Each structure stands twice: as C-alpha cells, then as structure tokens.
Amino acid sequence: MSGGIVDQVRDAYRTEVGADPAGVWSAPGRVNLIGEHTDYNAGLCLPIALPHRTAVAAGARSDDRLVLTSLAPGLEPVEVDLGEVSPTVPGGWAAYVAGVVWALREEGYAVRGLDLVVDSAVPVGAGLSSSAALTCAVAAAADGVFGLGLLDTEAGRHRLVAAAMRAENDIVGAPTGGLDQTVALFGRAGQALRLDFRSGEMSAVPVDFAAAGLSLVVCDTRVSHSLADGQYAARRASCERAAAALGLDSLRELSPADLGRAEVVAALSAEELRRVRHVVTEIRRVDACVQALRDGDWDEVGRLFVASHESLRGDYEVSCVELDAVVSEALASGALGARMTGGGFGGSAVVLVPTERVDQVVAALTERFASEGWGAPDCFVVTASEAARRDR
C-alpha cells in the first residue's frame, strides 16, 4: 500500500508530534467466504484479507502515556496511561488501541508509551472486521517500534493475534473467536485461508476469481451493527450451553447425522437445536467449498454461498431484511451465489458474479434499495490481499 492513508498518517504524525514516526504499519479488513459463527465452536472458516487497510503511524514515548489520534471524522484524540487501561478506560475507539498495548505488556513484552496516529479505509460497521484491522495494525506497530520481532515469524504473529483478541475480549468487551485477527495477520495475496480452530491448522486455498471470469463483490448494506451489543454474545452463549448439555468440548464434535439423534434433540431447546444445526452444517460447507474451489466448480461455490445464507437467516437468525434483499436480488440478476458475511445484524454480503454482469448486479441492488426507501448500498469488487506489514 503506497501513498493514500500511509502518507496521511505519516504527515499527521509529524504535525501532531513534531517529529517523524518510527514507521507506518497497516493491517487489512477481511471478508469471510464461508464459515460464519464457527470459529468460537472450534470449527472451520475460509476468509480472505481485503485490499482495504487500516494504517498506523507510531513512535515511542519516554513515559507510559498513550497519545492516540484518529483521522476519522468525529473522533477526538485520547490520552491514557498504560497503567489505567481497563474495561472502562479509555472506552470508545481508543479501547481497541490501548487494549493491544496493554495486552502485550500483560504478556511480558517490553512496551511503553506510544504516540499513534490512525486512519482506515476499512468500512466501519460493515462486517468487514474494521476492529481487527485496527487492533492488528496497532499490534504490528507496537512490535516494530519496540523491536519485539513478532511480526517476523509465524509463532510471533500468533502471539500478536492473541494480543489483539485479548484487547477485544478483555478491554473492549466484544467476544471474538479469532477468525478476524488471524486473517489480518496471516492473509495472503491470491489465497483464502482455511482456518481450523480446533487444531490451529492453517492452509492456503488459491482463489483466482479473475481467471475464471468472475468477480467477488462486497455489498455493504450500510446497516450498522456492533458485536458488542449482546447479540453476538448471546449466540455464542447458546452454543456453549448446547455443547455442555451434550457433554461435548465443542460443537465441532457433532456431525450432521447426529442432529436427528433422539438424545441430541431431547437435550436441547428448539432454539439451541437450530443454532447447533447451523454450526454443524456450516462447518461441512467450508470443506465442500474448499473442494469446489480446488476443482474450479464455481457453480457449486455459488450454491454453497446460498445454502450458508439460508442457514444463517433461518437457523442462526443473524441476517436482516437488507441482507436478504441483496442475496435474492443478486441471484435474480445473474449472480452465481451470495451470502451475508461477518457477524450479521447488518453489515455486508458477498456476491459471486460473472465479471461481465457486475455492473448489472450492482445496478439492480442499488435500484432495489431505492425502491425500498433504504440508503444506497456500497458495492465494490475485492481480491484476496496481504496481511499486516510495515509500509514505511
């Protein structure tokens, strides 16, 4: 990533601090091709890193103060002492930033105060993991400024994943299963990552949409959502209760055939059974999608996208009317498949469409939103891109 927000945060740092930053680091947003709400159930996911990134210009201070500046409109600068960071301090957007530095110190790394200037091209509230792009960019910056060397090795990047997760879980109060942080720190250009949250295994899956004459379109409904509003946590708690009721460590241990067993049905409420059915079948859809991608069976990939959306809408109940409209309208306009992506309750959908029909599909979606009296969606083509890195 050259120019753009990298230059902006560097120049803003010079203005705010009166010196050059030690460097500029960035991390990507992500879109999950398939495998939703499976990470915290020890399941499988298949995300890609987006070309849209969050950039952080950073420099060390001689004290333990964090001086945080965001170039996003309406966000005020924040100052906080590292020793004061808690689930209530500093709160807001700064909690994501301060939480990462706090987590690294809690793990024994020699970090101290920082001047940080942040800007982002990742849409906020769109289900594209703007929060993980922020926390992982900050983690990369802290690593670089203090010479921790974690960004240089696979094991070190896993430690940065853990710090970013701890920031969200312990300081922000938004439970996260690790998918977003993992792809932000391990994504690869031209490849999806098959992530196994039971074994920790990662494997690359080539995704060359252009070579197949296809485009992956993200449609941001611009319906705001938040993982900290209780709905995500409620779904996660439901899965944990179901696993406990069945005497399992996680729902990963179930197969689709188990869903009809009398003892499984008897142990769960009707709602829990629906949640479990989504998780179990979604895990199977991930590997089916991996195989279809490797076979170049794009029609099957599209079918799996639609099946995933139907499960998320009906069994997991995390869709919304706008997301459902994107899926139905896209399919009617020639897309091979479409599904909501991310935590749900708004945000974005992914649409797999022949490249020559992209404009037609986007026009149909825009017209549908207008006819419903909704604000215009933001649709854009994405490719699989690179993980967190130093840019300057």
Catalytic residue positions, numbered: 180
What is the phi/psi pair of residue 386, to 5°?
Answer: -95, 160
332 burial (CB, 10 Å; 0-12 / 13-18 / 19+) is exposed
